[in-house]
Amino acid sequence: AQKVTQAQTEISVVEKEDVTLDCVYETRDTTYYLFWYKQPPSGELVFLIRRNSFDEQNEISGRYSWNFQKSTSSFNFTITASQVVDSAVYFCALSPSWGNSGGSNYKLTFGKGTLLTVNP
């Protein structure tokens, strides 16, 4: 069974602070994908990143960075110099890789989300 845990229900920071959102996952699959999604107040979910379990290199995209550590089953997300526009609910998610899913029995498991509020 797959499980994604986002222990932080809510986080509040002041603009320009750095903030890290934690994600811990459980899976029996040897290969899998990890994701982060953003849900701003408007409601629509937006895909941010996909990481293959083969690739443990950290990734940076502007003010966003992701730290994938297979040894601790974690895929944490850091926002540097946070801005008010970063205020949103952030979801971590997990899916089996194509081969493990059998090509059709696919399932993306979401965590319960972390509400990030960035105050001016």
Question: What is the binding site for another protein (CB under 8 A)?
Answer: 33, 35, 37, 42-47, 50, 91, 93, 95, 98, 101, 104-108, 110-113
Closer by beta carbon to another protein, 37 or else 68: 37
Tokens of 61: 């995209």
Closer by beta carbon to another protein, 10 or else 18: 10
Kindly state the smallest distance separating residue 28's Cβ from another protein, in Å.
17
Beta bridge partners of 80: none
C-alpha 117/C-alpha 48 separation (Å) is: 18
Please provide the DSSP assignment of 61-87 as one string: ETTEEEEEEGGGTEEEEEESS--GGG-
Kindly state the smallest distance separating residue 51's Cβ from another protein, in Å.
10
